[in-house]
Amino acid sequence: MNVAVINLKDMLKYLVKIIIVIAILFITTKLITNSKSNINQQIFSKANKKFLTKCLELSIPCLEVTNIEAEQNEAKLTKLMGMELSILKTNKVTNNKVDIIQNNEIIVEQEPAVNTEPTASPQIEISKIATTEEVTDRNFTSRANNFYGTTRIDNQSNYTLTEDMLVPDVEIQNKKDILIYHTHTCESYTPCDTYNYEMTGNYRTTDSNYNVVRVGTELSTHLSAKGFNVIHDGTYHDYPSYSGSYARSLDTATKLLDEKPAGLVIDLHRDAVGNGDTYGPTVMVNGQRVAQLMFVIGTDGGGLKHPNWVQNLKTAIKIQETANVMYPGLFRSIIVRNSRYNQHICNGASIIEVGATANTLGECLLSMQCLANILEEVCK
């Protein structure tokens, strides 16, 4: 009979080997688990950022307007969230009123102001043909990847723009009838001595004497004096809720067009890009500081029906070619985007961005005098 004698040293050797194997398996499993977790977090983070960016692109047409480089996109997104959505953090909406909150205390309750008398217009008359000089401070050079005549175009859509798409061989129907409305009605500008106001949000106010409604009123006044039939709608579409602004403004514009068709439909905005006093595109016109303008033209590149987008682009180019003769440098590059921005409602629909946060209301009112002169020339 064979008797196996197990040496104590051998037992210890086997035990140490087993412990080492278990330790290796444990460490390997831990590393794999952490790696998967990090990958999942990265994927979720990227997806989340893409989702937020897409949401902002749909609500804020000028999100990709600037020539800010790719590595600054995250900072740009943070600024935009603070700029355009700050009202969600600072304002409490109750029964269609806004309670302004500071240091966790409600200090004032505010409703959209109903004003019968607009703030005074600048007592300056700008001639139809003027000398201009672009101001470089608080500004940047608009990028462009397409050109027609003197018009620069920044095509950010999925389309390749052909020469046929750019030739402004379009006749504006009902050219004396113009509709002006505002999807982001509360957008406002830098307060100054002449136009000083208290902000409801970050460069936003419900007082129509100081937001883009006042800019629309100025344009309407000048156009009416030139014989145009103008409907200017000051409905608040971004108050009390910013989300859904475009759906609400679509309802407004559709109802107004059903009542009276228009040859030109202008959704008047303030450029959302920038932060505070860092960005205010300006041109000197006959020695006066005037806010620059910018067309944003939507397409069906996002998948929504929009059969007339090329006609809208041609109309914008037609207007800008005239503007470039009368006031060189007043208009920045036309932006062409995948989103349609309600511009499918008729031919001749567009967004016009008037200045940015660092511009003053006075600069924007002067630019409306220029725009009225341009439209008069185009619609002769």
For domain 132-378, give its CATH number from 1.10.10.10, 3.90.1150.10, 3.40.630.40, 3.30.1370.60: 3.40.630.40
Distance CA 82, CA 204 (A): 12
Distance CA 153, CA 159 (A): 13
Residue 136 has a pLDDT of 87
Is residue 99 within a helix (H) or strand (E), and if so which, with residue range?
strand 97-102
pTM of the model: 0.76
Longest dimension (CA), the chain: 123
- Cβ contact 258:289 at 8 Å: no
DSSP 345: G
* Buried/exposed code over 366-376 (b: 16+ C-beta within 10 A; e: otherwise): bbbbbbbbbbb
User: What percent of the chain stands above pLDDT 70?
Assistant: 75
What pLDDT, in 10s, does the model give residues 166-220?
A: 999 999 999 999 999 999 999 999 999 999 999 988 899 999 999 999 999 999 9
In the chain, where the domains are located = 132-378
Q: Which of 148, 150, 174 is nearest to 161 (CA)?
A: 148
pLDDT band at 30 (very low <50, low <70, confident <90, very high): confident
What pLDDT, in 10s, does the model give residues 287-310?
A: 999 999 999 999 999 999 999 999
pLDDT of 18 > 70? The answer is yes
